[in-house]
């Protein structure tokens, strides 16, 4: 017992005489807060509130004095004897007496069920108030309206549910008398006229009637319907809780709520509000005060919140009362949906304090939550106007003015205007505008389309395949169904959900707390699977490395010809003769040398996989009317294909343009030699794309070896490198053993491998087919978003087995966008791949997913259950 308790004559739960706790009438029981578990009672009897108060007492935290009437005996509180025993026991616990002038006491009756549910009866407070003592109580509080408002609510409910006064009469009286004191007088008058007895002055009789009212409300048809809607038993019992309501001056008393963590920073910093006077269900607006006004009680509140966090291992919320500057907890629980930053910071704090281990801290934060922290989100209120729903192609959220061309995007962005690039589909020529825009919206394409891949690489939110979207550059309009928007109109989009809204919405700023970096560092120590990034430029590499990438798993050299560089590769493909082609190749080699030099410098000593040119031919050809002359237009027309994704691309293009890969390889090896001269030696891997025949790989490998020899002869530097291939076709997977004879590594290009295994066009099928398939249950997820373990995954597993049977030390990785999907990462981990590679901004997600996979596998092997 504390000194304050002794001075006040208060009893602690362990000092309560049995005679007070156990009324003599059989079957009646009063359980002081803190004694429920000692008596072997659980939530079915104590209710959630009784259990919570038991926990608080066990932790040594200050609680409001009170007793529980277990659910099985709740009806006994309606009897005067039990009610009087409850009043006497609470008076003993509180060290005050009802009717005492100097330190007045009232009662509150509350109810709780075995689980958290909706529809519980409201609390009935101010039990013990009478017309005779109300004036003295108001004088102590100093705020008359607070007492009368709560008293009126209690009298109204008791009148209807315990004294059988018709609710319509009570409602009419309340409507006719808005002033709180007059309401009480009107209600007491109605009870005197229409009830079988006047409203009692005796506190025990008031408590008995209050218990009858609460149980009557709980047994009402409306309450039973509520339980049915929640799939709860109609006869579900509730425990009743009688609490001390200690009255004190408003300047030193009040009530409030608090949470343990700051919602924006996630750090431990109690936040909440405090109200003066008697606790009300709906405090008057604009009357709350900050917690720092609690003076001496603030320190105890902070201690209570910290203690609860360490006990519950979760951000917590509490309801509390302050009387004469002393704080007591009314309720406490783990926050149901704590801010994500709070969960991250708490996980690290608990691990640093030794309350949990680092593995548990990592397991607490999911890969999806990591992604949520890394990208801005729309702040939705429910009143937004949804324009269209497309495919969530790249996470994040943004708002900006519609632009319909890359040129316009660059022009407005240069002036500081935020723009959203809207197009039917994007091409390499649109990349500068995509990078200048804050977001991208397309009417076609899927999550593996050009727009999606570029947006993810740049960290821009994107929505693709927005059905019904028609962009008209000439008219300057965008039609979405019946709605017509004009260039310059504002839209907001959410790349995580695929939703596009009209107007400018509020966007939360992305910015994970530093504790996320700590968690990811711990995760790195737990995972087996390496994590690299798909990065094509030095800037992207720098971003990826800052986000924790261990190297570059895919450098797409064709992406170095986007935008202003597009004419370089176009000149090679459309050259009129050999001389023109050689001249174009020379210019290409010089440009790539500078690009590679910057890229390798940014990579440092890490591994980097450079894929030689692989892009569908149509991405490089000029659109109608864009050719330099009629002859070039004619050559371009001759090269256009009906199905360019399966046409002249990858190694096939290189075998027809035999100087293409040697030019790229020489530029790469020369750049490596230049960078090595500065002391930086990247671990270089050269990858041949879209191979289906071992002969294709052997021929392309000869090109690369010849380039290495040429550079060595010219510079005297023998560049160390691995040569490998991308497994993108089912035939390549089936012939993995033969390909492994020529390749030192494989990288599974799961975007194309999925496309070719299913026979799905990744640019068209998602919007038109996959959504329907998922609705009908044919597919659980888009196979372009989540690796298909039964078809595509089976091919990868077969390729892994056959490749390792020929070359046991072959390095194996995944470089499709599946490398950033947590479930796909777990599958790759199970197969024993060496690494996954994904967009730079998904690297932290992949790091966490790989750690979760490794931890889960260890627990599965040990048979432990969490």
Q: What is the pLDDT of residues 54-111, one digit of tens each?
A: 999 999 999 999 999 999 999 999 999 999 999 999 999 998 899 887 788 899 999 9
Q: Are 497 and 392 in contact (CB under 8 A)?
A: yes
* Mean pLDDT, rounded, of the chain: 89
pLDDT of residue 25: 44
pLDDT at residue 864, as a whole number: 52
Write down the pLDDT at residue 800. Answer: 98
User: Above 50 in pLDDT, residue 492?
Assistant: yes
Question: pLDDT digits over 589-636, tens only?
Answer: 888 999 999 999 999 999 999 999 987 777 777 777 777 788 777 777
23 confidence band (pLDDT: 50, 70, 90): very low
To the nearest 10 degrees (0 to 180), the angle between helices 144-161 and 203-218 is: 60
CB atoms within 10 A of CB 586: 12
C-alpha dist (Å) from residue 472 to 40, 440, 525, 832: 73, 16, 52, 49
Share of the chain above pLDDT 70, in %: 95
Rounded CA separation 225/455 (Å): 50
Between CA 56 and CA 583 the distance in angstroms is 81
Residue 417 has what pLDDT? 94
User: What's the mean pLDDT in 637-663?
Assistant: 85
Using CA atoms, how far apart are residues 106 and 312, in angstroms rounded to an integer? Answer: 32
Residue 286 pLDDT grade (very low, low, confident, very high; cuts 50, 70, 90): low
DSSP strand pairing (419-423 vs 397-403): parallel
Bigger pLDDT: 291 vs 236? 236
Q: What is the pLDDT of residue 27?
A: 34
Average pLDDT over residues 539-560: 93
Structure-block tokens of residue 272: 């909440």
Active-site annotation, residues: 450, 815
pLDDT at 26: 33
Lowest mean pLDDT of 102-116, 258-272, 292-306, 660-674, name the range. Answer: 292-306
Q: Is pLDDT at 20 greater than 50 in this prediction?
A: no
Interhelix angle 843-862/822-831, nearest 10 degrees: 50
Contacts 24+ apart (CB under 8 A), 331-339: 331/49, 331/52, 332/52, 332/55, 332/56, 332/61, 332/304, 332/308, 333/52, 335/259, 338/259, 338/261, 338/314, 339/261, 339/263, 339/264, 339/266, 339/315
Instruction: Using the predicted structure, report yes or no on whether residue 698 has a pLDDT greater than 90.
Output: yes
**Which of 754, 798, 799 has its CA nearest to residue 779?**
754
Reported confidence tier of residue 289, pLDDT bands at 50, 70, 90? confident
Q: What pLDDT was estimated at residue 14?
A: 46
Burial (CB count <10 Å: 0-12, 13-18, 19+), residue 693: middle
Average pLDDT over residues 644-669: 90
For residue 558, the 8-state DSSP code is G
The full DSSP string for 129-155 is --TTTHHHHHHHHS-HHHHHHHHHHHH
**Looking at residue 149, what is its pLDDT?**
87
Total Cβ atoms within 10 A of residue 77: 25
Q: Which residue has the tokens 């035999």?
A: 658
Q: Which helix (H) or strand (E) holds 256?
A: strand 254-261
Whether 562 has a pLDDT exceeding 80, the answer reads no
Dump pLDDT digits (tens) for 420-459: 999 998 887 788 899 999 999 999 888 878 888 889 888 8
Give the Å distances, CA to CA, from 417 to 28, 408, 490, 520.
73, 11, 11, 35
Q: Using alpha carbons only, how large is the chain's radius of gyration in Å?
A: 36
Q: How confident is the model at residue 581 (pLDDT cuts 50, 70, 90)?
A: confident
Instruction: Please provide residue 272's backbone torsions phi and psi, each rounded to the nearest 5 degrees.
Output: 165, -160
Q: Is the pLDDT of residue 863 over 70?
A: no
Whether 17 shows a pLDDT value over 70: the answer reads no
pLDDT at 623: 76
Under 8 Å between Cβ of 244 and 330: no
pLDDT band for position 1 (50/70/90)? very low
Mean per-residue pLDDT for 195-223? Answer: 94
E strands, 603-694, are 607-611, 683-688
Strands of the sheet containing 490-494, edge to edge, are 386-389, 499-502, 490-494, 397-403, 419-423, 439-442, 462-464, 391-394
Q: Please give the pLDDT value at position 3.
A: 35
Residue 799 in this model has a pLDDT that exceeds 80:
yes
Mean pLDDT in residue range 329-355: 93
Could you say which DSSP state residue 123 is in? P
Lowest mean pLDDT across 413-427, 486-500, 628-642:
628-642
Please tell me the predicted confidence (pLDDT) of residue 588: 83
Nearest CA-CA partner of 391 in 445, 438, 428, 431: 445
pLDDT (tens digit per residue) in 759-784: 998 777 877 788 889 889 999 999 99
Does the predicted model carry a pTM greater than 0.85?
no
CB-CB neighbours of 851 under 10 Å: 28
């Amino acid at each position: 017992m504390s000194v304050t308790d002794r001075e006040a004559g208060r009893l602690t739960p362990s000092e309560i005489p049995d005679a007070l706790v156990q009324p003599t009438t059989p079957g009646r029981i009063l359980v002081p807060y803190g004694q429920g578990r000692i008596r072997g009672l659980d939530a079915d009897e104590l209710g959630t509130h009784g259990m919570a108060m038991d926990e608080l007492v066990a932790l040594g935290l200050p609680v409001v004095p009170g007793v529980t009437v277990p659910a099985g005996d709740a009806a006994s509180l309606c009897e005067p004897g039990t009610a009087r025993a409850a009043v006497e026991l609470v008076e003993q616990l509180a060290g005050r007496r009802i009717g005492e002038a100097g330190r007045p006491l009232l009662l509150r009756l509350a109810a709780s069920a075995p689980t958290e549910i909706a529809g519980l009866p409201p609390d009935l407070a101010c039990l013990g108030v009478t017309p005779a003592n109300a004036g003295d109580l108001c004088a102590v509080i100093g705020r008359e309206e607070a007492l009368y408002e709560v008293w009126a609510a209690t009298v109204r409910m008791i009148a209807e549910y315990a004294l059988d006064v018709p609710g319509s009469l009570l409602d009419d009286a309340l409507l006719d008398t808005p002033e709180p004191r007059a309401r009480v007088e009107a209600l007491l008058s109605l009870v005197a006229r229409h009830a079988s007895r006047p409203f009692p002055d005796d506190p025990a009789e008031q408590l008995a009637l209050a218990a009858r009212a609460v149980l009557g409300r709980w047994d009402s048809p409306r309450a039973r319907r509520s339980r049915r809607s929640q799939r709860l038993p109609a006869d579900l019992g509730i425990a009743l809780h009688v609490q001390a309501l200690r009255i004190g001056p408003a300047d030193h008393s009040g009530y409030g709520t608090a949470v343990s963590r700051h919602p924006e920073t996630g750090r431990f910093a109690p936040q909440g509000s405090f109200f003066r006077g008697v606790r009300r269900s709906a405090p008057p607006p604009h009357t709350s005060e900050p917690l720092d006004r609690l003076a001496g009680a603030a320190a105890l509140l902070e201690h209570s919140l910290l203690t609860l966090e360490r006990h519950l291992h979760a951000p917590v919320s509490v309801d509390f009362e302050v009387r004469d500057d002393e704080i007591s907890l009314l309720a406490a629980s783990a926050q149901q949906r704590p801010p994500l930053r709070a969960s991250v910071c708490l996980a690290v704090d608990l691990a640093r304090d030794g309350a949990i281990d680092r593995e548990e801290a990592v397991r607490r934060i999911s890969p999806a939550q990591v992604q949520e922290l890394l990208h801005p989100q729309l702040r939705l209120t429910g009143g937004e106007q949804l324009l269209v729903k497309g495919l969530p192609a790249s996470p994040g959220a943004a708002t900006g003015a519609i632009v319909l061309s890359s040129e316009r995007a660059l022009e407005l962005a240069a002036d500081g205007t935020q723009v959203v690039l809207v197009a039917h589909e994007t091409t390499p020529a649109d990349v500068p505008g995509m990078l200048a825009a804050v977001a991208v919206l397309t009417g076609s394409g899927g999550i593996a389309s050009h727009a999606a891949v570029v947006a993810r690489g740049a960290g821009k939110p994107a929505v693709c395949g927005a059905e019904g979207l028609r962009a008209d550059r000439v008219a300057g309009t965008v039609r979405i169904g019946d709605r017509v928007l004009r260039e310059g109109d504002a839209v907001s989009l959410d790349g995580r959900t695929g939703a596009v809204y009209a107007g400018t919405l509020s966007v939360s700023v992305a910015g994970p707390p530093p504790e996320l970096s700590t968690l990811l560092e711990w995760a790195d120590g737990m995972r087996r699977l390496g994590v690299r990034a798909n990065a094509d430029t030095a800037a992207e590499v720098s971003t990826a490395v800052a986000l924790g990438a261990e190297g570059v798993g895919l450098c797409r050299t064709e992406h170095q010809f986007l935008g202003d560089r597009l004419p370089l590769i176009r000149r090679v493909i459309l050259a009129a003769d050999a001389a023109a082609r050689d001249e174009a190749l020379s210019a290409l080699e010089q440009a790539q040398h500078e690009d590679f030099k910057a890229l390798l410098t940014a990579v440092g000593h890490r591994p980097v996989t450079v894929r030689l040119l692989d892009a569908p031919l149509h991405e490089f050809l000029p659109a109608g009317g864009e050719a330099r002359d009629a002859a070039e237009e004619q050559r371009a027309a001759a090269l256009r294909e009906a199905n360019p994704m399966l046409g002249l691309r990858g190694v096939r293009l290189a075998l027809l343009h035999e100087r293409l890969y040697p030019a790229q390889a020489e530029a790469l090896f020369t750049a490596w030699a230049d960078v090595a001269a500065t002391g930086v030696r990247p671990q270089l891997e050269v990858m041949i794309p879209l191979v289906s025949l071992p002969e294709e790989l052997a021929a392309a490998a000869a090109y690369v070896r010849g380039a290495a020899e040429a550079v060595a002869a010219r510079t005297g530097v023998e560049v160390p490198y691995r040569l490998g291939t991308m497994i993108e076709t089912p035939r390549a997977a089936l012939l993995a053993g033969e390909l492994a004879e020529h390749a030192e590594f494989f990288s599974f290009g799961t975007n194309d491998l999925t496309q070719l295994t299913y026979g799905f066009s990744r640019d068209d099928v998602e919007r038109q087919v996959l959504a329907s398939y998922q609705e009908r249950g044919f597919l659980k997820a888009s196979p372009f978003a989540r690796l298909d373990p039964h078809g595509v995954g089976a091919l990868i597993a077969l390729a892994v087995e056959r490749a390792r049977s020929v070359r046991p030390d072959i390095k194996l990785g995944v470089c499709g966008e599946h490398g950033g999907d947590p479930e796909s990462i777990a599958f790759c981990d199970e197969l024993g791949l060496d690494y996954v590679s994904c967009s730079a901004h998904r690297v932290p997600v992949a790091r966490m997913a790989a750690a979760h996979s490794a931890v889960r596998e260890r627990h599965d092997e040990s048979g432990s259950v969490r």
